[in-house]
Amino acid sequence: MAKMEVKTSLLDDMIGVGDMVLLEPLNEDSFINNLKKRFDHNEVYTYIGSVVISINPYRSLPIYTPEKVEEYRNRNFYELSPHIFALSDEAYRSLRDQDKDQCILITGESGAGKTEASKLVMSYVAAVCGKGAEVNQVKEQLLQSNPVLEAFGNAKTVRNDNSSRFGKYMDIEFDFKGDPLGGVISNYLLEKSRVVKQPRGERNFHIFYQILSGASEDFLCKLKLERDFSRYNYLGLDSAKVNGVDDAANFRTVRNAMQIVGFMDHETQSVFEVVAAVLKLGNIEFKPESRVNGLDESKIKDKNELKEICELTGIDQSVLERAFSFRTVEAKQEKVSTTLNVAQAYYARDALAKNLYSRLFSWLVTRINESIKAQTKVRKKVMGVLDIYGFEIFEDNSFEQFIINYCNEKLQQIFIELTLKEEQEEYIREGIEWTHIEYFNNAIICDLIENNQTGILAMLDEECLRPGTVTDDTFLEKLNQVCATHQHFESRMSKCSRFLNDTSLPHSCFRIQHYAGKVMYQVEGFVDKNNDLLYRDLSQAMWKASHSLIKALFPEGNPAKINLKRPPTAGSQFKASVATLMKNLQTKNPNYIRCIKPNDKKAAHVFNDALVCHQIRYLGLLENVRVRRAGYAFRQAYEPCLERYKMLCKQTWPHWKGPARAGVEVLFNELEIPEEEFSFGRSKIFIRNPRTLFKLEDLRKQRLEDLATLIEKIYRGWKCRTRFLLMKKSQIVIASWYRRYAQQKKYQKIKSSAIIVQSYIRGWKARKLLRELKHQKRCNEAATIIAAYWHGTQARRELRRLKEEARNKHAIAVIWAYWLGYKVRREYRKFFRANAGRKIYEFTLQRLMQKYFLEMKNKMPSLSPIDKNWPVRPYLFLDSTHKELKRIFHLWRCKKYRDQFTDQQKLIYEEKLEASELFKDKKALYPASVGQPFQGAYLEISKNPKYKKLKDAVDEKIIIAEVVNKINRANGKATSRIFLLTKNNVLLADQKSGNIKSEVPLGDVTKVSMSSQNDGFFAVHLKEGSGAAGKGDFLLSSDHLIEMATKLYRTTLSQTKQKLNIEISDEFLVQFRQDKVCVKFIQGSQKNGNIPTCKRKNNRLLEVAVP
């Protein structure tokens, strides 16, 4: 179907017939041909009303994608092509919207695709239900339960590589919104005989091969297993490897699924240990031995396997060995022990293996149910999915086939009953007269098998419980006596003479005519398989195991709870399970999926008519079609019916404005359909014969072709008219644009010519004006040049005159100067010799000083106050001058450096200077504090919301805020406190809560004591008698002792105008309440590294150890 095409009915583009109810003519050949035609076109699903027929394609088809899920979501069942998603959606919406519990019954023989169908149903429901973390977890657990159960309950058979060897019924529980809450799984009749023996070409259960292929070497070693399949007698070698199956990858998938479902690691380990024990049981072999009394007994050949089994299961080896060799029978107060011969020992071994594996599988189902069950106790909606074996007819049919076919008889019975009930309810709901439908009622066959007095199962149980010699032949004789007259029972040994010469019926067999056909059963093994005995010695041996899981699997082995009653037989257990299942299904709305296998070769594109015919017969599909079309073959709501066929009547086309039913009545009257061919219900139209529906479809198809032709004609006319009008409009637009273009070109040409003429005229005028201006300019320049030359001549004449006058005046001045010089020298000559020495000295000294200062200018050191460099003194007589200049320069550069400080920096340096005066060469801790800036507010109380309460309690400016350790005088231990210094007070507050513990005015602080060593301890001494001195002095420890003491000293001096006494001594007294305690500082190595510690020596001495 094209991507944009929308399909609105099952009848659109139908390949063959999508619903077998509409098949005409209806017979076995037309049924098979219709299935084959659809199968050849990859249509693997076909309807019988609301029943889905599914044919296994044996290949992947692109019809299960997320896009397909969305396509079928919330769509009418008959709206799209037949698909398993349509049935799943119908069931889910009925459960969610109509609050009806649903069940989906999936039947068919092995290899028909039942397991895959159940997976598709669950995956579709998981895809369309709600989302969320919890919902997704529940969906994931429900989906991941499948790989676990498949590994332990599925096996490769000649018909199917993944055949379910057990029946499974899962109830998925939903809340009122339709979101999954959990689920409950029930299992039926695991084929446990496969554990010890498989038919040729088949395998044991998958889990055995998965462990050996996928487990690591260490894990196999723990399980005492080897990877070689040939080492184990319970594994068939001819089909150990299956093409396209990766057992190693499947093992990893199973372990991951067990983890998702909720298995604990020790539970998973226990499960695989039990599987390994079962596998190794098959390697135990026995040899015969004769006793003195002549009785035969058996002994184990190689006890190494037995030893490893006992190590795996935690069973005493002697106990298990005895259980394989002896059997104890208890009757009232007596116990009789008998030996087992080799055949009996092998029977006991195989019985133990089968029971161990079967009980492990039941435990797995129970454990999965614990994980996936709904956790809430609210009312739940339920959707059940039944995946169970179909009807089986083999060459050799035994007890297992008898039980399976009995279950299918019950399912067929409930199928017919519920189908008829559904038909009858719809007829009554729509007001259509119900006519009785003739059909084969298989209740007589069910009664033949399950009757409590004369049923075959009852006879089998009675024979198993009868004392004396009981064999399969005696059981057959009993059947021949009780069931000889039953019309569906056949046996050559019965009293009915018509079977005495039937050579197709052997003497050791009986035949039952089931609804799906006749099946011949061999009675050999019926009694043993029904008894399903496990010797009590083996049960007790298993119960004694230290392996918790194995012990839990065999509760009857507890000696304190010995029950001498015979356990229920396999037949009675299965009969009770089937009865419970039938009761459960009758409370739900059923939905059916009938799976068909197209061929025995598991090959794609191969359709075996004979094989499909056989399955159609025993599934009763033709009977199902006849029941569905016994009254009316097709029914449809009025609205979609009118919408689909309204074009067949002029009155209803294209729109009908009245009620839909009235429109359908007008339509059918217009088409002259006979009244006996249809009937009007309350909300649906019922059509009796498929021919009538196909006639409507043919008329609709013809009418659609006519309408398509009409639409095509109208469309073509519209398209031509539209094209003509568009071309006409385009021609007008092109003509207008051309005329405009031509006028523009003409205008541009005229404009260009005018511009050229104008340019020539303007050029002529400009050149004329230029010539006139040039002539005028030349005249002006000539006059200017003449005047300039004249002015130059005049100036040069005046210059020569002035130079002459100047030379005359200069000669007079020179002569006068020489005369005065001569006169002065003559007067001064008589004084020169007397003052020459002093003058020369002064001149020389002046020149040396000048040279000294000039050199000093070039050799000046840097302006850093800490720079010690100074130029070398050049002359001895300048020594004092040199030193004074050095001092003056240092003072000057210090002043320059100080002028750069802000007020805050000046305050910090004043504090540093004060600290130097107080502690330099007195306190060993001082040198380390010189390079550390005094910050004061270390806690940032105003910014930290933790100290909001403390900030609100302190109104003054905080000078220092630091965490200190307050020393307890009782034990010397430290407690963290917040130390606050304001302008007027010293405060101590709790570090965690911010509550103020102590507040001391600065006037009450008399002295601060500390040691001379490298520690942060100091004592704050309070004035005696003051209010704050009630508890005594404070002994504190801080990482910023120098800063705190300096700020406390300066603040006290500023407020009280008195200097605070700073006492530095390695031993001082501290007042604690009424006592005085001596604090003594000593040197010593400490366990705490470089941290000083305080320790109380006695009532009068606190000793501080400083590293």
60 catalytic per annotation: no
| Helix 609-619, helix 28-40: angle, nearest 10 | 120
Candidate list 160, 270, 530, 1052, residue with the active-site label: 160
SS3 980: strand
390 catalytic per annotation: yes
- Please name the residue that has the structure tokens 């001495």: 1101
Residue 528's φ and ψ, nearest 5 degrees, are -65, -45
Distance CA 88, CA 73 (A): 9
Q: Which amino acid is it at 681?
A: G
Distance CA 405, CA 411 (A): 10
Q: What is the sign, positive or negative, of the torsion defined by CA atoms of 174, 176, 178, 180?
A: negative
Cβ atoms 700, 648 nearer than 8 A: yes
157 catalytic per annotation: no
Q: Taking phi first (over 0 means left), then psi (-120 to 50 degrees means alpha), and beta for anything else, what does residue 689 get? A: beta
163 catalytic per annotation: yes
Distance CA 1038, CA 1026 (A): 25
Edge-to-edge order in the sheet of strand 1067-1072: 1067-1072, 1075-1083, 1101-1106, 1093-1098
Candidate list 214, 282, 390, 681, residue with the active-site label: 390
Distance CA 463, CA 473 (A): 11
1054 catalytic per annotation: no
Candidate list 34, 56, 107, 115, residue with the active-site label: 115
Residue 249 C-beta-side C-alpha neighbours within 13 Å: 3
Choose among 941, 961, 965: nearest CA to 1015: 965
298 catalytic per annotation: no
Candidate list 16, 111, 236, 384, residue with the active-site label: 111
The gap from C-alpha 737 to its chain's centroid, in whole angstroms, comes to: 67
SS3 1065: coil
Candidate list 392, 400, 423, 463, residue with the active-site label: 392
- Please name the residue that has the structure tokens 């320059």: 896
Residue 392's φ and ψ, nearest 5 degrees, are -120, 125
Show Cβ contacts of residue 938 under 8 Å, excluding neighbours closer than 6 positions.
960, 961, 962, 963, 1040
Quick count: other Cβ atoms within 10 Å of Cβ 143? 17
Candidate list 46, 50, 110, 239, residue with the active-site label: 110
270 catalytic per annotation: no
Q: DSSP assignment of 343-403, as one string?
A: HHHHHHHHHHHHHHHHHHHHHHHHHHHHHHS-SS-S--EEEEEEE-------SSB-HHHHH
Candidate list 164, 253, 270, 692, residue with the active-site label: 164
Candidate list 163, 298, 355, 982, residue with the active-site label: 163
> What's the alpha-carbon Rg for the chain, to the nearest Å?
58
325 catalytic per annotation: no
Q: DSSP assignment of 401-422, as one string?
A: HHHHHHHHHHHHHHHHHHHHHH
Which residues are known catalytic residues? Answer: 110-111, 115, 160, 163-164, 390, 392
